[in-house]
Amino acid sequence: MTKYLIKLKYIRPMKLLFEKEQKMAEFIPFLPIEGENKYVKGKIEGKARVFLPEFLDFARKLGFNIKGKVLEGENDENYLRLFVYAMVSQFVKSETERREIERTVMELPILALRYWASTFRNAYWEGGRKRVRRISKCFRVIYCD
Nearest in space to 105 (alpha carbons), one of 66, 31, 48 = 48
Whole-prediction pTM: 0.93
Residues in the chain: 145
pLDDT at residue number 112: 97
82, 59 contact by CB (below 8 A): yes
What pLDDT does 40 receive? 92
Element containing residue 56 per DSSP (H, E): helix 54-61
pLDDT of res. 9: 95
**How many whole angstroms separate alpha carbon 59 and alpha carbon 8?**
12
Across the chain, which distance is largest between two alpha carbons, in Å?
A: 53
Query: Which pLDDT value is given to residue 3?
Result: 92
Q: What is the DSSP string of 19-45?
A: ---EEEEEEEEEEEPTTSS-EEE----
- 14-38: per-residue pLDDT in tens? 777 667 789 999 999 998 888 888 8
Secondary structure tally for the chain: helices H, strands E: 5, 6
**Ordered alpha helix ranges (H), 108-128:** 110-127
Number of domains in the chain: 1
Task: Using pLDDT thresholds of 50, 70 and 90, give the confidence band for residue 111.
Answer: very high
**Residue-wise pLDDT tens digits, 39-88:** 899 999 999 999 988 999 999 999 999 999 999 999 999 999 999 999 99
What is the model's pLDDT at position 107?
A: 96
- 55 is in which domain, residue-wise? 4-144
